């Protein structure tokens, strides 16, 4: 229905614009993507783009928010289940994973970490410094995994992360140091 907010045509147009932005992020950084380029590739005019987004960053923020909202069935999950759920969402939408590399330009990793905290999905008795350390480590593992082309399936990467957090593979080194 024309003129109705969030009608099917409007949702389709927004999806086309978002998919175009995600495609462009596969080959260039966010600050090198122009509205003109997005409009040309999406086959929409600038007025249409600006009807929905103020700029490319606003479009990316909209994509991030929709992705984080889609992760909300985390309530009641264990930390490993929540982590695997998150990794599976990335694994299933490889274009979206390019957002983890837009350093300082997107807030996707921070939003996902906030979601884990809000859902109370973190191991008990984690101190602030430990939480910061583990959060930074998780972000860097995720970046490496995406950069390497996601070679491990989500279940396997979840186990690697848990083993890393628990320092299971450092027992021999620990014995040598102590």
Average pLDDT, the chain: 79
- Number of structural domains found in the chain: 2
82 and 28 in a single domain? The answer is no
pLDDT band at 50 (very low <50, low <70, confident <90, very high): very high
128 and 173 in a single domain? The answer is yes
b or e along 166-178 (b: 16 or more beta carbons within 10 Å of the residue's beta carbon)?
Answer: eeeeeeeeeeeee
68-72, 87-91, 94-98, 124-128: which has the minimum mean pLDDT?
A: 124-128
pLDDT in tens, 19-33: 999 888 878 888 899
> Tokens 């990794």, residue?
87
pLDDT band at 14 (very low <50, low <70, confident <90, very high): very high
Give the structural domain span for 158: 71-178
Q: Copy the structure tokens of residue 18.
A: 């978002």
pTM of the model: 0.68
84 and 120 in a single domain? The answer is yes
78 and 42 in a single domain? The answer is no
Q: Copy the structure tokens of residue 16.
A: 């086309």
Task: List % helix, strand, coil for the chain (3-state, nearest 5).
Answer: 70, 0, 30
pLDDT band at 156 (very low <50, low <70, confident <90, very high): very high
User: Looking at residue 4, what is its pLDDT?
Assistant: 52
Question: Nearest 10 degrees: CA dihedral of 134, 144, 104, 126?
Answer: -10
75 and 32 in a single domain? The answer is no
82 and 14 in a single domain? The answer is no
Question: What is the mean pLDDT of the segment spanning 92-109?
Answer: 64
> Tokens 């410094």, residue?
129
Q: What whole-number distance in Å separates Cα of residue 99 and Cα of residue 86?
A: 14
Q: Which of 34, 65, 96 is the last residue of a domain?
A: 65
In the chain, beta strands by DSSP E = none
Cα 174 to Cα 61, 127, 132, 178, distances in angstroms: 43, 22, 22, 6
User: Looking at residue 1, what is its pLDDT?
Assistant: 43
Q: Which of 43, 65, 87 is the last residue of a domain?
A: 65
């Amino acid at each position: 229905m024309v003129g109705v907010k969030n009608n099917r045509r409007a949702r389709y147009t927004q999806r086309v614009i978002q998919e175009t932005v995600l495609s462009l992020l596969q080959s260039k950084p966010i600050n090198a993507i122009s509205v003109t380029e997005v409009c040309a590739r999406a086959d929409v005019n600038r007025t249409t783009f600006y009807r929905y987004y103020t700029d490319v960053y606003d479009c990316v923020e909209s994509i991030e928010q929709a992705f984080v909202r889609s992760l909300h069935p985390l309530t009641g999950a264990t930390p490993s289940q929540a982590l695997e759920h998150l990794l599976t969402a990335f694994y299933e939408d490889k274009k979206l994973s390019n957002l983890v590399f837009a350093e300082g330009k997107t807030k996707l990793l921070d939003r996902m970490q906030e979601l884990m905290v809000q859902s109370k999905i973190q191991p008990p008795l984690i101190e602030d410094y430990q939480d910061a350390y583990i959060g930074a480590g998780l972000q860097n593992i995720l970046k490496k995994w995406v950069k390497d082309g996601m070679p491990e399936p989500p279940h396997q990467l979840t186990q690697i992360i848990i083993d890393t957090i628990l320092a299971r593979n450092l027992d021999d080194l620990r014995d040598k140091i102590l």
